[in-house]
Homo-oligomer: A and B are copies of this chain.
Protein backbone atom coordinates (compact mmCIF):
# COMPACT_ATOMS: atom_id res chain seq x y z
CA UNK A 1 0.00 0.00 0.00
CA UNK A 2 2.96 2.22 -0.87
CA UNK A 3 2.55 5.07 1.63
CA UNK A 4 3.30 7.89 -0.78
CA UNK A 5 6.02 10.12 0.58
CA UNK A 6 4.80 13.66 1.06
CA UNK A 7 6.22 16.02 -1.57
CA UNK A 8 7.55 19.26 -0.10
CA UNK A 9 5.99 22.57 -1.16
CA UNK A 10 9.38 23.79 -2.35
CA UNK A 11 9.57 20.95 -4.85
CA UNK A 12 5.99 21.45 -6.03
CA UNK A 13 6.60 25.14 -6.72
CA UNK A 14 9.56 24.19 -8.91
CA UNK A 15 7.63 21.75 -11.09
CA UNK A 16 6.16 24.39 -13.42
CA UNK A 17 9.62 25.79 -13.83
CA UNK A 18 11.04 22.44 -14.92
CA UNK A 19 8.10 22.05 -17.25
CA UNK A 20 8.82 25.42 -18.84
CA UNK A 21 12.50 24.71 -19.37
CA UNK A 22 11.81 21.28 -20.80
CA UNK A 23 9.27 22.78 -23.15
CA UNK A 24 11.95 25.21 -24.36
CA UNK A 25 14.46 22.38 -24.85
CA UNK A 26 11.89 20.44 -26.82
CA UNK A 27 11.31 23.42 -29.07
CA UNK A 28 15.05 23.62 -29.63
CA UNK A 29 15.06 19.96 -30.70
CA UNK A 30 17.28 18.92 -27.85
CA UNK A 31 16.48 15.31 -27.16
CA UNK A 32 18.57 14.55 -24.08
CA UNK A 33 19.93 16.52 -21.18
CA UNK A 34 21.97 15.79 -18.08
CA UNK A 35 21.17 17.26 -14.69
CA UNK A 36 24.43 19.16 -15.01
CA UNK A 37 23.48 20.86 -18.28
CA UNK A 38 19.99 21.62 -17.05
CA UNK A 39 21.40 23.05 -13.84
CA UNK A 40 23.55 25.47 -15.85
CA UNK A 41 20.50 26.64 -17.80
CA UNK A 42 18.21 26.99 -14.83
CA UNK A 43 20.69 28.35 -12.34
CA UNK A 44 20.07 25.71 -9.69
CA UNK A 45 22.30 22.81 -8.66
CA UNK A 46 22.36 19.49 -10.50
CA UNK A 47 21.96 17.84 -7.14
CA UNK A 48 18.71 19.63 -6.54
CA UNK A 49 17.36 18.64 -9.93
CA UNK A 50 18.11 14.97 -9.35
CA UNK A 51 16.73 15.15 -5.83
CA UNK A 52 13.55 16.87 -7.03
CA UNK A 53 12.87 14.49 -9.89
CA UNK A 54 13.46 11.48 -7.70
CA UNK A 55 10.55 12.50 -5.52
CA UNK A 56 8.36 11.27 -8.35
CA UNK A 57 10.40 8.44 -9.78
CA UNK A 58 13.58 7.58 -11.63
CA UNK A 59 13.15 9.38 -14.91
CA UNK A 60 16.78 9.30 -15.95
CA UNK A 61 19.36 6.80 -16.98
CA UNK A 62 22.86 6.46 -15.58
CA UNK A 63 25.52 7.54 -18.02
CA UNK A 64 22.94 9.12 -20.33
CA UNK A 65 20.93 11.71 -18.50
CA UNK A 66 17.26 12.45 -19.13
CA UNK A 67 15.26 12.11 -22.31
CA UNK A 68 13.73 15.56 -22.72
CA UNK A 69 10.44 14.52 -24.25
CA UNK A 70 9.88 11.70 -21.80
CA UNK A 71 10.67 13.89 -18.81
CA UNK A 72 8.49 16.67 -20.18
CA UNK A 73 5.57 14.28 -20.52
CA UNK A 74 6.09 12.79 -17.09
CA UNK A 75 6.13 16.18 -15.39
CA UNK A 76 3.08 17.08 -17.42
CA UNK A 77 1.31 14.06 -15.96
CA UNK A 78 2.35 15.04 -12.44
CA UNK A 79 0.98 18.55 -12.89
CA UNK A 80 -2.07 17.17 -14.63
CA UNK A 81 -1.84 19.13 -17.88
CA UNK A 82 -3.67 16.31 -19.63
CA UNK A 83 -6.53 16.16 -17.17
CA UNK A 84 -8.62 18.41 -19.37
CA UNK A 85 -9.03 21.02 -16.66
CA UNK A 86 -11.66 23.64 -17.38
CA UNK A 87 -11.65 27.24 -16.17
CA UNK A 88 -14.19 29.98 -15.77
CA UNK A 89 -13.31 33.60 -15.12
CA UNK A 90 -15.47 35.64 -12.80
CA UNK A 91 -15.13 39.36 -13.28
CA UNK A 92 -14.52 40.66 -16.78
CA UNK A 93 -12.82 43.87 -15.80
CA UNK A 94 -9.32 44.66 -16.97
CA UNK A 95 -7.67 41.81 -15.15
CA UNK A 96 -10.36 39.31 -16.08
CA UNK A 97 -10.18 40.24 -19.73
CA UNK A 98 -6.40 40.15 -19.72
CA UNK A 99 -6.49 36.65 -18.25
CA UNK A 100 -9.16 35.60 -20.74
CA UNK A 101 -6.86 36.65 -23.55
CA UNK A 102 -3.83 34.96 -22.06
CA UNK A 103 -3.50 32.02 -24.42
CA UNK A 104 -0.65 30.58 -22.41
CA UNK A 105 -3.10 28.79 -20.14
CA UNK A 106 -4.50 26.82 -23.06
CA UNK A 107 -0.95 25.78 -23.94
CA UNK A 108 -0.65 24.31 -20.47
CA UNK A 109 -3.85 22.35 -20.87
CA UNK A 110 -6.27 24.63 -19.06
CA UNK A 111 -9.35 25.40 -21.12
CA UNK A 112 -11.39 28.56 -20.62
CA UNK A 113 -15.08 27.74 -21.03
CA UNK A 114 -16.92 30.68 -19.49
CA UNK A 115 -16.67 34.29 -18.36
CA UNK A 116 -19.06 35.92 -15.90
CA UNK A 117 -19.79 39.47 -14.85
CA UNK A 118 -22.67 41.59 -13.62
CA UNK A 119 -22.10 44.66 -15.79
CA UNK A 120 -24.95 44.69 -18.36
CA UNK A 121 -22.82 46.74 -20.75
CA UNK A 122 -20.42 43.89 -21.41
CA UNK A 123 -22.69 40.87 -21.08
CA UNK A 124 -23.02 39.17 -24.44
CA UNK A 125 -19.64 40.47 -25.59
CA UNK A 126 -17.24 37.78 -26.71
CA UNK A 127 -13.61 37.25 -25.80
CA UNK A 128 -11.81 34.70 -27.92
CA UNK A 129 -15.22 33.37 -28.88
CA UNK A 130 -16.37 32.93 -25.31
CA UNK A 131 -19.40 34.93 -24.34
CA UNK A 132 -19.51 36.98 -21.16
CA UNK A 133 -22.51 35.71 -19.22
CA UNK A 134 -24.41 37.20 -16.32
CA UNK A 135 -23.23 35.99 -12.95
CA UNK A 136 -26.81 35.08 -12.06
CA UNK A 137 -26.64 32.27 -14.60
CA UNK A 138 -23.62 30.61 -13.05
CA UNK A 139 -25.64 27.97 -11.18
CA UNK A 140 -27.12 26.67 -14.37
CA UNK A 141 -23.80 26.84 -16.18
CA UNK A 142 -22.01 24.81 -13.55
CA UNK A 143 -24.83 22.29 -13.53
CA UNK A 144 -24.42 21.74 -17.25
CA UNK A 145 -20.64 21.95 -17.54
CA UNK A 146 -17.73 20.42 -15.70
CA UNK A 147 -15.87 23.36 -14.13
CA UNK A 148 -12.62 22.66 -12.32
CA UNK A 149 -11.21 26.08 -11.59
CA UNK A 150 -12.76 29.49 -11.00
CA UNK A 151 -10.55 32.50 -11.52
CA UNK A 152 -11.75 35.33 -9.31
CA UNK A 153 -10.95 38.75 -10.68
CA UNK A 154 -13.56 40.98 -9.09
CA UNK A 155 -13.16 44.01 -6.79
CA UNK A 156 -11.91 42.79 -3.46
CA UNK A 157 -15.00 43.68 -1.42
CA UNK A 158 -17.01 41.25 -3.53
CA UNK A 159 -14.44 38.48 -3.39
CA UNK A 160 -15.44 36.59 -0.20
CA UNK A 161 -19.09 36.36 -1.25
CA UNK A 162 -18.27 35.16 -4.74
CA UNK A 163 -15.68 32.69 -3.52
CA UNK A 164 -18.21 31.27 -1.11
CA UNK A 165 -20.76 30.88 -3.87
CA UNK A 166 -18.26 29.20 -6.17
CA UNK A 167 -17.23 26.74 -3.48
CA UNK A 168 -20.83 25.85 -2.70
CA UNK A 169 -21.37 25.10 -6.38
CA UNK A 170 -18.77 22.39 -6.01
CA UNK A 171 -15.90 23.97 -7.92
CA UNK A 172 -12.72 22.53 -6.46
CA UNK A 173 -10.10 25.09 -7.38
CA UNK A 174 -9.98 28.85 -6.93
CA UNK A 175 -7.37 31.14 -8.38
CA UNK A 176 -7.80 34.40 -6.54
CA UNK A 177 -6.51 37.69 -7.95
CA UNK A 178 -7.96 39.93 -5.25
CA UNK A 179 -5.36 41.49 -2.98
CA UNK A 180 -6.51 39.49 0.03
CA UNK A 181 -5.80 36.05 1.42
CA UNK A 182 -8.87 34.02 0.75
CA UNK A 183 -9.79 31.26 3.18
CA UNK A 184 -12.88 29.12 3.00
CA UNK A 185 -14.47 26.54 5.27
CA UNK A 186 -14.81 24.12 2.38
CA UNK A 187 -12.76 21.47 0.72
CA UNK A 188 -11.45 23.84 -1.93
CA UNK A 189 -7.94 24.44 -3.16
CA UNK A 190 -7.05 28.10 -3.27
CA UNK A 191 -4.14 29.85 -4.91
CA UNK A 192 -3.88 33.50 -3.94
CA UNK A 193 -2.04 35.79 -6.35
CA UNK A 194 -0.79 39.03 -4.90
CA UNK A 195 0.57 41.08 -7.76
CA UNK A 196 1.51 44.08 -5.68
CA UNK A 197 3.52 41.88 -3.31
CA UNK A 198 5.98 41.27 -6.12
CA UNK A 199 6.16 44.97 -6.80
CA UNK A 200 6.90 45.67 -3.15
CA UNK A 201 9.66 43.10 -3.10
CA UNK A 202 11.11 44.93 -6.09
CA UNK A 203 10.77 48.18 -4.14
CA UNK A 204 12.62 46.70 -1.19
CA UNK A 205 15.46 45.47 -3.36
CA UNK A 206 15.81 48.82 -5.14
CA UNK A 207 15.90 50.44 -1.73
CA UNK A 208 18.70 48.14 -0.62
CA UNK A 209 20.68 48.67 -3.81
CA UNK A 210 20.31 52.41 -3.41
CA UNK A 211 21.55 52.33 0.18
CA UNK A 212 24.48 50.15 -0.79
CA UNK A 213 25.62 52.41 -3.63
CA UNK A 214 25.22 55.48 -1.40
CA UNK A 215 27.45 53.81 1.16
CA UNK A 216 30.05 52.89 -1.45
CA UNK A 217 30.22 56.47 -2.63
CA UNK A 218 30.86 57.67 0.88
CA UNK A 219 33.92 55.47 1.31
Chain A residues with CB under 8 Å of chain B are 12-13, 15-17, 19-20, 42-43, 78-81, 83, 85, 93-95, 97-102, 104-105, 107-110, 148-149, 172-173, 175, 179-181, 183, 187, 189, 191, 193-207, 209-210
Beyond A81-B200, A193-B198, 4 additional pairs, beta carbon < 8 A: A12-B201, A93-B98, A95-B98, A193-B195
Give, as a whole number of angstroms, the nearest-CB distance from A194 to chain B.
7
Give, as a whole number of angstroms, the nearest-CB distance from A20 to chain B.
7
Give the number of copies in the complex.
2
Say yes or no: A175-B198 contact (C-beta < 8 A), given A94-B98, A97-B98, A98-B94.
Answer: yes
Q: Dominant SS at the A interface? A: helix
Bound-complex Cα distance A183 to B102 (A): 23
Give, as a whole number of angstroms, the nearest-CB distance from A216 to chain B.
12
- Note all chain B residues with C-beta closer than 8 A to A42: 181
19 A-B contacts (beta carbon < 8 Å)? A15-B201, A15-B204, A16-B200, A79-B204, A79-B207, A80-B207, A81-B200, A83-B210, A94-B97, A94-B100, A94-B102, A99-B195, A104-B179, A105-B196, A108-B196, A108-B199, A149-B199, A191-B199, A193-B195
- Note all chain B residues with C-beta closer than 8 A to A93: 98, 101
Asked if B207 and A189 make an inter-chain contact with CB atoms under 8 angstroms apart, the answer reads no
Asked if B199 and A105 make an inter-chain contact with CB atoms under 8 angstroms apart, the answer reads yes
